[in-house]
Structure formats: structure tokens, C-alpha cells
Amino acid sequence: MSVSPPEQRIWWNEPIEKVELVWIVVAFLWGVFMFGFMIAWHFIGGQNLNKEAYRIAPSNYELKVENFARMYKVREEKGIPVVKPPGGADVYLLGRLWQWWPMLELEKGVSYRIHLSSIDLQHGFSLQPVGINIQVHPGYEHVVTLTPTESGEFGIVCNEFCGIGHHMMTGRIYVTDRKQAASDQFFAEGR
């Protein structure tokens, strides 16, 4: 029995049951497949997290974000700037107690280099309802090249516990269709 010493003293020479052997082979091959599929996704898939990251003092990061917001601010919503960077630009997003700052306005189908960092505790960048979740550390500036594939209004929730106001920590990203954006600009210039 499983609770008594093996019946055969030399148990390692016992032949293996066929059904066990088949299952071991199946499990092993499935493991090799899953291992290979993660590698393959770096070549065939469009969702792979970049390792690009820099050490940065939180105060320096805060300055960068403020400069960025000042440069591309298009309007304000309840005191929070809405920032619309040009395509391909470096975009700086700040996690702090208890806010994602500033709000962003991006264009569908355009790539942006999104910088993520915190100036106090760890936070969790959770883009909803899309479902992209990335850990944000103070002292580390993580750069993710992000391309929105749908337009609309999206929320950023914090999903790393960051104290008593954790549940109030939110942010927002607007994504506009490129055509829409172009016509807005046309009318703006025509006026």
C-alpha cells in the first residue's frame, strides 16, 4: 500500500504500466508544445510584453510626466488634463496615490510608446474593459509600445493594493478613430 514500504524491495526495476507510460508521453509532449507556443507567440502574436525598462528617481519621472502633459494638453476634465500626443510619441503615465495621471487621448491603429511608473507605492495598470494588466513599480520606468485596436472610452483601474484609497484610483484613455480625428482637425482649421 501507499502507506507501507514497497512490496518489491527493488521497486525501480518494476515494469511501468502501459496506460501510465502513454499518459506520461502525452503529458510530456503537451508540455513541450506549451513551452514552444510561448516562444512562437513572440513571432506570430501581437501581444508580447516588452522588457524595456529604466531605473529612474520618482521625482524625475514626475517632472517628465508634467512636461509631457503641458506639451500636449488639449482640454481638462474636472481638473485633470486630457493629453493628446502625436502618433509614435513617447507617452508618460503616472501612477500615484490615488490616481492615474493624466488622461490620454489616443488614435486607433496608431502606436505609442507608453511609459509607466509610480512615484510612491506599487500600482497595477489595468486597462478595462480591454484586459491589459501590467505591474507598475516606483523607481522603474517601463516602456510598452501600445497600439489601440478599438475606439471608445476606456478606464484604467488600479489592481495592486495601494492603501486605503486604492479603490478610488482610476484613470481614463479615449481612443478616437483616425478618420474622425482627421475630420475634427479639418473643421478646426477651417474655422
Partner 1 sequence: MTAETIAGAVGRSAVFRTCAYTGLKVDAAAQALIKANAVAAVVFLAIGGFMGLLVALTRWPAVHLLPAEWFYLVLTGHGTNVLLFWIIFFEIAVLYFASAILLNSRLAAPKFAWLGFVLMVVGAALANVTVLQGDSSVMFTSYPPMQAKPNFYLALILFAVGALIGCAVFFATLVIAREEGTYQGSIPLVTFGALTAAIIAVFTIASGAIILIPTWLWSLGLISNIDPLMYKVVWWGMGHSSQQINVSAHVAIWYMIGALVVGAKPLSEKVSRTAFLMYILFLQLASAHHLLAEPGLDASWKIVNTSYMMYLAVMGSMIHGLTVPGSIEAAQRRNGYDRGVFEWLRKAPWGNPAFSGMFLSLVFFGFIGGISGVVLGTEQLNVLMHNTIYVPGHFHGTVVAGTTLAFMAATYLVLPLIFQREIMWPGLAKWQPYLFGIGVAGIALFMMGAGILGVPRRHWDITFSDAEPSFAYSAGAFLMMGLNGLFAILAAIGGAIYVLVVVGTVLFGERITGGHRLTFPLHQGGGNAVSHYGSYGTIKLPGTIILVAIFFVSFVLYYFINWKYLSELWLFR
Q: Which of residues 26-85 bind partner 1 (CB under 8 A)?
A: 26-28, 30-32, 34-35, 37-39, 41-42, 45-51, 53, 77-78, 80
C-beta of 37: minimal distance to partner 1 in Å?
Answer: 8
- Sheet with 152-158, strands from edge to edge, namely 73-77, 80-83, 103-107, 170-176, 152-158, 123-128, 132-136
Residue 170 makes contact with partner 1 by CB under 8 A:
yes
Of the ranges 65-73, 84-92, 125-133, 179-187, which one interacts with partner 1 (CB under 8 A)?
Answer: 125-133
Residue 159 makes contact with partner 1 by CB under 8 A:
yes
Pair 175, 152: CB distance under 8 Å: yes
Of the ranges 60-68, 88-96, 135-143, 176-184, which one interacts with partner 1 (CB under 8 A)?
Answer: 135-143
Residue 6 makes contact with partner 1 by CB under 8 A:
yes
**180 is written with which cell numbers?**
474622425
Q: State the first-to-last Cα distance of the chain, in angstroms, to the nearest integer.
A: 88
C-beta of 81: minimal distance to partner 1 in Å?
Answer: 12
Spatial CB neighbours of 158, under 8 Å, sequence gap ≥ 6: 95, 98, 100, 123, 124, 125, 126, 166, 169, 170
Nearest to 71 by CA among 56, 54, 90, 88: 90
Torsion angle (degrees, nearest 10) of CA 15, 19, 20, 26: 130
C-beta of 67: minimal distance to partner 1 in Å?
Answer: 21
Residue 184 makes contact with partner 1 by CB under 8 A:
no
CA angle (29, 30, 32) in 5-degree steps: 65
32 or 74: CB nearest partner 1: 32
Position among 73, 89, 155, 177 found at the interface with partner 1 (CB under 8 A): 155
C-beta of 136: minimal distance to partner 1 in Å?
Answer: 8
Position among 24, 63, 71, 74 found at the interface with partner 1 (CB under 8 A): 24
